[in-house]
């Protein structure tokens, strides 16, 4: 792939995260792929891993948004009380923050580890 081509390596890492989403800690694996392909310094691996996490987060947000719209349409059809909507919105906000921290944080860590593996372990 393209060593030092940050966007391409980040996209490849995000795709790896999505494909491996059935594996626990898949954002770290996607970030590791991106960091390994990036080369350069550890901070380059960290940066490309974080960018990979943001791209993966956007992909996940699209799927979550579609699911949330379908579930919201179901709740509107069942005449759910308005309190349900407030708690649902609060839950979605908290889940989005936790998901962003999980995905981007683990991807950045994976990027650093992938870069470390490339330069220190001679894999």
Every domain of the chain and the residues it spans: 6-120
Q: With 90 as the cut, is the pLDDT of residue 65 above it?
A: no
pLDDT of residue 79: 67
Q: What is the pLDDT of residue 51?
A: 95
The residue among 116 and 1 whose pLDDT is bigger is 116
Query: For 102-113, what is the mean pLDDT?
Result: 94
Give the separation between CA 20 and CA 74, rounded to whole angstroms.
Answer: 30
Of 55 and 93, the one with more pLDDT? 55
**Both structure tokens of 13:** 């890492």
């Amino acid at each position: 792939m393209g060593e030092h081509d940050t966007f391409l390596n980040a996209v490849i890492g995000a795709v790896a995260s999505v494909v491996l989403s059935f594996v626990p800690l898949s954002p770290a694996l996607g970030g590791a792929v991106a960091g390994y392909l990036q080369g350069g310094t550890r901070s380059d691996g960290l940066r490309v891993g974080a960018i990979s996490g943001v791209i993966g987060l956007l992909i996940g947000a699209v799927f979550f948004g579609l699911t949330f719209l379908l579930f919201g349409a179901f709740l509107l059809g069942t005449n759910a009380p308005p309190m349900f909507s407030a708690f649902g919105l609060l839950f979605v906000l908290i889940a989005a923050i936790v998901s962003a921290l999980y995905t981007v944080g683990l991807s950045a860590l994976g990027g650093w580890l992938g870069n470390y593996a490339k330069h220190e372990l001679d894999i």
